[in-house]
Chain A
Amino acid sequence: AQSVTQLGSHVSVSEGALVLLRCNYSSSVPPYLFWYVQYPNQGLQLLLKYTSAATLVKGINGFEAEFKKSETSFHLTKPSAHMSDAAEYFCAVNMRDDKIIFGKGTRLHILP
């Protein structure tokens, strides 16, 4: 079955530290991959997307993600966390069948 797994429903990092949010997927076809961010009481906003071009994808707000086919992973990173990065992050996979499957989300907490 096709699925998306985000490891850790909550992640805490100190301000200025590396942010690493993990996403693994299973797919029978080459997928398109996305990361979305959701701030409180708002809809989801696209951070970045992978569509089979470069495997390292840069997004907004200093985030980037690397597609690793051998590991079926698409982890999200940011070198230095900022207080404004506190939000919920969703990994999503487009299985080329009209639909996107979302992970259950990881809430990122930034410690002062």
Chain B
Amino acid sequence: DAGITQSPRHKVTETGTPVTLRCHQTENHRYMYWYRQDPGHGLRLIHYSYGVKDTDKGEVSDGYSVSRSKTEDFLLTLESATSSQTSVYFCAISENADNEQFFGPGTRLTVL
């Protein structure tokens, strides 16, 4: 299995608080992605990174920001969490843009 970890695995927070989710890889892959998974919507891309300090938006980026200061870490931040951001968040990595993606175990976030 690709070496991808996500932390925390579960988090409950209150509306309006900041939240940061971490994705860590040991594969030295160039590309990293953040998705959210919601019933009936499949996986939707939030943001992705194609290198250190190089990031771009996905289809549901509003309310989220990301940072990648090292190859191995990709952080997803909710500046002010809302109940609509309650979801399961998955990180994925890929060696290059055409290759398959490998997924982390997910983080279940509940915003009350």
Q: Which residues of A contact B (CB under 8 A)?
A: 9, 32, 34, 36, 41-46, 49, 51, 90, 94, 96-100, 102-105
Contact = CB atoms under 8 A, between A and B. Distances in A.
Given A51-B98, A96-B98, A98-B97, A44 B90 contact: yes
Interface stretch (B36-44, B61-69, B72-80): B36-44
B56 interface: yes
Contacts of A105: 42
A103 B31 contact: no
Contacts of A46: 100-102
9 closest residue pairs by CB, A with B: A43-B103, A104-B42, A102-B43, A44-B103, A98-B97, A102-B42, A105-B42, A46-B100, A43-B105
Contacts, number: 51
Contacts of B42: 90, 102-105
Nearest to A4: B42
Interface of B: 4, 31, 35, 40-45, 48, 50, 56, 58, 90, 92, 97-98, 100-106
A33 B52 CA distance: 27
A104 B41 contact: yes
B43 A90 contact: yes
B87 to A, nearest CB: 14
Given A104-B40, A104-B41, A96 B105 contact: no
A100 B101 contact: yes
Contacts of A90: 42-43
